[in-house]
Amino acid sequence: MVIEGIEGDALKNARAALTLPPGMVREGGVDRALLDLFLRQIPEKVRKSLEPFGYLEAQVSSNLEKTEEGQDLLRVKVIPGEPVRVTAVQVRVTGPGEKNRDLRKLVDSFPLKPGDALNQVKYEKAKEELRSKALNLGYLGSDFTSHMIRLNRAERKAEIELILQTGSRYLFGEVIWEGTQLYPISYLERFLDFKPGDPYSYSKVYQTQLNLINSDRFASVNIRADKDEARDGNVPVRIQLEPSAPKRLRPGVGYSTDYGARLSLRYQDLNAFQQGHEFNSDLSIAERRQAVSSYYTLPNQGHIDNRTNLKMGLQRELIKPYDSVLLTLEGEQARSFGYGIIGSAYLQFRYEQFSEADQDGSSNFFMPGLRLYQRRVDDLIRPGKGFRYSLETRGSTQALGAESNFLQFLGNGDLLIPLGAGFSLIPRTQFGVTWQKNPLTDLPPSLRFYAGGDRSVRGYTYQSLGPKDSQGNVIGGKHLLVGSLELEYSITKNWSVAGFYDAGNAFNNFKDMSWPQGAGIGVRYYTPAGPVRVDLARQINVDNPGFQLHISVGFAL
């Protein structure tokens, strides 16, 4: 079907109006009786679809043509004519909310002005936005005392009158918690997106419900806030919670090309000492990495992401560049900056023993640092769009026990861009910078930069790229720069395929930097525990290019 003479939203509406009736096309054939009926209905259907956009006298014709391949083609020609023009606009807010700044902004920015073509779609959207804003500001009795479009078809003129009466403003009243014996009230209040006395807002009630659900501590959450129960304009809020079991033990298995097969065990206590404190302990045993880590979280006042974290980690890595045993003890103070942004300051003690290029070494020192993290996606399990990034700066001095003074800045990020028709574009980057006057070997291997692996330059094995010593052993670099571009196509809800290109390296200075590259194809399977990724990558611009299979699999039992 081809529709000529209109474009934009008017064309979309006309296409929707001309959806073929069910049963007209069966097994590749066309029911001629239904087709003739459909052809007779086309002019009226198109004219009605254009009326919301101010076109009241559209001329519509249609005919059935044969293409060069002998197939039927329905061509619809539209002469929309002159649209109805808006000649007067009166939009007002009356009552207690008349001078509210947010409502005044919506009145002043009403999308239809004198001289514009009458667009009822814009009118209805702006009308609903004005009322929704009033309700969300606490004017719960808001309603339109007048909402009309006076239409003069003969002169193609329209006058708009829209008057919103707000009524009294309601406030949040007492919060009544029910079914909360496990958690102290002072802890639960951190999940509130409002305080008693704030203007009542449906969105704040909804956000509070999301906060409680996303805490993973409650089997059910029910919030009731009825203005009919208000006293002196204060709406009581009843929150009924059914706590879930706070103590959990979760075994798991997985595999990644970087570390090999993996067994894991996680213990959680989401209500330690009945104070809402959180304790987590993780054990992970893989072929090339064994680790045990624990952290204890104390909630702080204010936002639910404000917290104090006490962490301990012990890990051993057995990989080609080096073998190391690393012990870390860390205290971290984290707080929310809104919009999902979490920043933190930390002090970490590090003790590391390592063997590299047949030489043994050890280090122990204190390292302060700052972190910043944000993640925003439309779906945690199968995101369609969003982004993620993390930034960190860290360093130490000889006064804190380090072999030499150093400062590092590092970060990574991903962007998911929907392209339509099932395609998505995923740019990714990693970078790191080190400021240090002494030789790089004064830093332990865990603080040097390497490239290559599942989340780096695919086509190369884990940590196989970077500056080398005189014996050809990779010893890591001061800096890191890696970029990736991936095009993914969704086959079904859970399955997709991808093509990718990676480039980057670890290096000590830009003039000596080389750019190893890899490209390939992959398969993705999305599960509630995270995606399963299988990639086949090939090295680019090398004399004897090799293939590398990258697999990342993980699920909880």
Interval 266-321: pLDDT, tens: 999 999 999 999 999 999 999 999 999 999 999 998 888 999 999 999 999 998 88
Q: Is the pLDDT of residue 557 over 70?
A: no
Query: What percent of the chain has a predicted confidence (pLDDT) above 70?
Result: 99
Same domain, 364 and 507: yes
Q: Is the pLDDT of residue 439 over 80?
A: yes
**What is the domain-level CATH number for residue 420?**
2.40.160.50
- Lowest mean pLDDT segment, chosen from 1-15, 20-34, 79-93, 482-496: 20-34
Under the banding of pLDDT at 50, 70 and 90, the label for residue 507 is very high
Rounded mean pLDDT of 92-109? 94
Same domain, 333 and 435: yes
Query: How many structural domains comprise the chain?
Result: 4
Same domain, 34 and 151: no
- Which of 114, 135, 165 is where one domain is finished? 165
Q: Could you give the CA distance from residue 266 to residue 279 in angstroms, rounded to a whole number?
A: 11
β-strands 171-178, 234-243: how paired? parallel
Q: Is the pLDDT of residue 68 over 80?
A: no
Does residue 412 lie within any of the structural domains? Answer: yes
472 vs 237, higher pLDDT: 237
> 491 near 346, Cβ under 8 Å?
no
Same domain, 122 and 207: no
Same domain, 406 and 544: yes
Does residue 199 lie within any of the structural domains? Answer: yes
36 vs 296, higher pLDDT: 296
Same domain, 407 and 537: yes
Same domain, 144 and 211: no
Q: Is the pLDDT of residue 554 over 60?
A: no
**What is the domain-level CATH number for residue 59?**
3.10.20.310
Same domain, 477 and 544: yes
Does residue 458 lie within any of the structural domains? Answer: yes
- Extended beta strands in 12-156, E state: 25-26, 29-30, 59-66, 72-79, 85-94, 143-152
Q: Which two tokens stand for residue 141?
A: 């009795």
pLDDT of residue 173: 95
Rounded mean pLDDT of 502-511? 94
Which residues lie below 8 Å from residue 117, measured CB to CB, with a gap of 6+?
A: 53, 54, 83, 84, 85, 86
> 164 near 142, Cβ under 8 Å?
yes
> 471 near 481, Cβ under 8 Å?
no
Name the residue range of residue 134's domain: 85-165
pLDDT of residue 27: 65
Same domain, 236 and 101: no
- The overall average pLDDT reported for the chain is 91
Each residue's pLDDT tens digit, 479-505? 999 999 999 999 998 899 999 999 999
pLDDT of residue 30: 72
- Which of 165, 193, 210 is where one domain is finished? 165
pLDDT of residue 556: 33
Same domain, 67 and 93: no
Q: Which two tokens stand for residue 190?
A: 């951190």
pLDDT of residue 28: 64
Does residue 255 lie within any of the structural domains? Answer: no
Does residue 288 lie within any of the structural domains? Answer: no
Does residue 134 lie within any of the structural domains? Answer: yes
> 426 near 414, Cβ under 8 Å?
yes
Same domain, 177 and 160: no
What type of residue sits at position 194? F
User: DSSP class of residue 399?
Assistant: G
Does residue 266 lie within any of the structural domains? Answer: no
Rounded mean pLDDT of 337-364? 91
Does residue 204 lie within any of the structural domains? Answer: yes
Which residues lie below 8 Å from residue 380, measured CB to CB, with a gap of 6+?
A: none
Q: Could you give the CA distance from residue 131 to residue 459 in angstroms, rounded to a whole number?
A: 56
Same domain, 465 and 341: yes
Rounded mean pLDDT of 16-21? 85
- Which of 137, 165, 193 is where one domain is finished? 165
Q: Is the pLDDT of residue 361 over 60?
A: yes
Q: Is the pLDDT of residue 551 over 90?
A: no
User: 451: closest CA among 472, 415, 492, 479?
Assistant: 479
